Structure 1
C-alpha cells in the first residue's frame, strides 16, 4: 500500500521527517502518474512536475487514477495547475496557489515555474517563482519594511524577467531602486515561499486523509487512442524496470 509523492524544488531543504510515510519520486512527467496508479498507489500527491524540457503530466492520467478510486492531490506548482484543471473530476486541490488558479485570479502557468538543479543536488531551486516573489512582497508591505512604491517597482521588475532567470539580485537591479544591498537584505529577512507552504499543506492533508474512504468520482473515462498508446508505453517501461531488478 503505497502513497506516492511527486516533488522536487518546492520541498527542497525541508526536514526529511516530514516526508516519512511517502514514497517520494522526482517531479512528474508524462506517464508518471499513470505508472503510479497502475502499480498499486493508494494515494497520489502531485506537487512538482516537468513542463519545459519534457512532456508534462497528462490530465487523463489523473482522471484514470481517479476513475480507479485513487485520490489525487495537487498543490504548489504543477499540482496546483492540474488541481484547478481537474477539480471538477474529483482531484483535490490544496493551498492558496491552487485557489488562485481555480478562481481565475491567476492564469499564467509560468507563475509557478522555476529553474532547478538535477536530482544529484536535491532539485534545489535556482530561480524564483513569481508566486513566491508576490508572497514575499506582501509580507514586506504588511510589515512596513519597504515603502509601497518600492514593492511595486520590485514586483514590476520580477514580472519582466523570465522564470528561469529570475533571482532577487536581478529583480532589485532591474527595479532601479537605490541601495541594492539594503533592499536585498530586507527581501532575505522577509522571504516567503508560498509554494513550500502549499506543498506542506498537501502533506498534512494527505496524512489526515490516510485510511479514510475516497468517494470515487462519477464519470466514465474515455479510453482514447492516444491514451491507449501512453498506457502501452508505461506498461513496457514498468516491465523493463522490473526486469532490471
Structure 2
C-alpha cells in the first residue's frame, strides 16, 4: 500500500528526504487520481495539477477515491481548489490557501497558477503565483523593508499580469518604480512561498494520519458514461504498466 502525492513546482527545491514514505508523482492530470485509487493507494495527496494545456483532474476521480475509503488531501495549488470544491464530500483540505478558497475569501483559480519547466528540469517554477506575491509582500511589510505605497504598486502590478508572465522583474517593471533594482533585492530577501508552506503541511498531515481509517462516504457516486469511459481507459493504462510495456496516455 502506498501514499501517493502529486506535486511539481510547489515542492521544487525541497529536500528530497522529506518525501520519504511517499510515492511522489508529477502534477496530476485527468485520470491520474483515479489511477492512483485503482492502483491500491492507501491515501492520495493532490498538490499540483495540470490545467490550461490539458484536461485537469476530474472531481469524480476524487469522489470515487473517497467512496472507496481512500482519504484524499488537497493543498497549495490545484489541491487547494479541489479541496474547497470537494470538502462537502470528504476531501481533506490543508493550509491557508485552501482555507481562503473554502471560505470564499479567494475565488480566482489563476491566483495559484504558475508556468513551470518540464519534468526533466524538476518542474521548476518559471513565474510567481499571486498567492506567493501576497505572502512575500506581507513579509516585506512585517520587516518594514519597503514603503506601503511601493508594496501596493507591486501588488496592483502583479494582479494585472497573466500568471505565465508574472515574474518579479516584470512585476516591478510594470509597477513603474524608481530604483527597481533595490526593490527587487528587497523582494528577493524576503521572498516566501505560501504554496510551498501549504504543500509541506499536506505531507505532514498525511504522515500524522497514517494508519487512520479512511472517510465514510455519505454520497452515491453517479457512474455516468463519461466516468465509465475514463475508468476503462485507466484500467487499460494500468494493465499496460503491469505487462511491462511502459506508460500509455489516459
TM-score range, shorter chain: over 0.9
Alignment partner, residue 197 of structure 2: 197
Alignment partner, residue 169 of structure 2: 169
Alignment partner, residue 57 of structure 1: 57
Distance, in Å, in 2 between the alignment partners of 1:233 and 1:212 is 31
- Indicate whether 1:9 and 2:9 are aligned: yes
Distance, in Å, in 1 between the alignment partners of 2:233 and 2:57 is 14
Q: CA deviation at 1:217?
A: 2.1
Distance, in Å, in 1 between the alignment partners of 2:62 and 2:228 is 14
**Structure 1: unaligned runs, 5 residues or longer:** none
Kindly provide the CA deviation profile for residues 34-55 of structure 1, in whole angstroms up to 9, marking residues without a partner as x.
Answer: 0000010000000000011110
SS in 2 for 1:201: helix
TM-score (norm 2): 0.97
Q: Is the contact made by 2:66 and 2:215 (CA closer than 8 Å) also made in structure 1?
A: no
Alignment partner, residue 154 of structure 1: 154
Larger displacement relative to structure 2 (52-61 or 231-240): 231-240
Kindly provide the CA deviation profile for residues 177-227 of structure 1, in whole angstroms up to 9, marking residues without a partner as x.
Answer: 110110000000000100000000000000000011223121111111110
SS in 1 for 2:17: helix
Alignment partner, residue 102 of structure 2: 102
Alignment partner, residue 78 of structure 2: 78
Q: CA deviation at 1:238?
A: 1.2
CA RMSD of aligned residues (A): 0.7
SS in 1 for 2:5: strand
Alignment partner, residue 44 of structure 2: 44
**Structure 2: unaligned runs, 5 residues or longer:** none
Q: CA deviation at 1:73?
A: 0.2
Q: CA deviation at 1:56?
A: 0.1
Runs ≥4 residues deviating over 6 A: none
Alignment partner, residue 130 of structure 2: 130
Distance, in Å, in 1 between the alignment partners of 2:22 and 2:137 is 33
TM-score (norm 1): 0.99
Distance, in Å, in 2 between the alignment partners of 1:242 and 1:40 is 13
Distance, in Å, in 2 between the alignment partners of 1:228 and 1:215 is 23
Distance, in Å, in 2 between the alignment partners of 1:35 and 1:229 is 13
Distance, in Å, in 2 between the alignment partners of 1:71 and 1:100 is 21
Distance, in Å, in 2 between the alignment partners of 1:150 and 1:39 is 51
Kindly provide the CA deviation profile for residues 82-125 of structure 1, in whole angstroms up to 9, marking residues without a partner as x.
Answer: 00000000000000000000000110101000000000000000
SS in 2 for 1:164: helix
Alignment partner, residue 225 of structure 2: 225
Alignment partner, residue 91 of structure 1: 91
